[in-house]
Amino acid sequence: MKYYIAGKITNNPNYKQQFAEAEKQLIKEGHHVMNPAILPHGFDYEDYTTICFAMIDVCEALYMLDGWTDSLGANREHERAKATGKRIDYQSCLFG
């Protein structure tokens, strides 16, 4: 399955590690992964939203990291996934 990882990035000093650990686990399970935490710095918020929505559109499922509800971007990604009929899995339900 193709997964997009969604979670809190802004004001989260550990986001790179959290996203990387989720990516590693999903790959270990045999999935393909889109990880937005590897995108370069320097773009506007709406640029990232456009890029991330495109990533979501080519995936079959979202993997929501714990704490995602505290992120405006992750909430928007969650809504995009629901609106486009994607499967949505939650970290605390799968690995925790």
Higher pLDDT residue, 93 or 2?
A: 2
Cβ partners under 8 Å of residue 31, min gap 6: 1, 2, 3
The residue ranges of every structural domain in the chain are 2-94
pTM comes to 0.93
Predicted local distance difference test score (pLDDT) of residue 92: 86
Beta strand spans in 1-92 (E): 2-6, 32-34, 61-64, 87-90
User: How is domain 2-94 classified at the CATH fold level?
Assistant: Rossmann fold (3.40.50)
The DSSP result for 31-78, as a single string, is -EEE-GGGSPS---HHHHHHHHHHHHHT-SEEEE-TTGGG-HHHHHHH
Predicted local distance difference test score (pLDDT) of residue 96: 45
**86: helix, coil or strand?**
coil
User: What share of the chain in percent tops pLDDT 70?
Assistant: 96
